[in-house]
Amino acid sequence: MEIENANFNAINFFTNWLDEARDKLGLKEIPMALASSSLDGIPSVRIVYLKDISKQGFVFFTNYNSNKGKDLIENPIVELNFFWEELERQVRVTGSVEKISPNESDAYFKTRPRKSQLGAWASKQSQILESRKVFIDRLDKVDKKYPDEVPRPENWGGFRVVPEQIEFWQMGEFRLHDRFISEKIDDKWIINRLYP
């Protein structure tokens, strides 16, 4: 695989790989590993779903009061990892995270199934739950409180990972992989090949 710096755009290149993954693997959701750390440097990684990608970055949604949300607000440096085993490809994205606008979060929240909307209100994400019944009771109360349209809770919304570096990895025979690292410098993507 050969990639040249001239007019290279890491987001466009990623989007091409993502489209291939969707087509060849039949992906309905796009899982990605999100790694963050607390201010104390304690790492945490979990799978979230990519909901939007643009030249500004990679968007996902969560509860801002969850452990994940708190980590992201306190220490906004993160890494994403996409791995498509069947395509023998991996992409690592390093950058900073920021909240998206309330209007963007509202627009996405309206597209969610009603039960997912109710769950965003009922869940005290990451807190100790005494029993499943307590959670179901909370769901029932929220359902009765909002019989029609369910508004977005203020503590729930989107984050955007603004990429500073994107690494593309294509598996090669005998572990002679193709690796490229692209860095955003002065609003331009510079790409270099890495040893496998």
Give catalytic residue positions.
Answer: 175
With tokens 């597209």, the residue in question is 111
Residue 104 buriedness (CB in 10 A; 0-12 / 13-18 / 19+): middle
Give the Cα separation of 78 and 58 in Å (integer). 12
Q: Taken in order 23, 45, 51, 148, is the CA torsion positive or negative?
A: positive
Contact 89, 27 (CB under 8 A): no
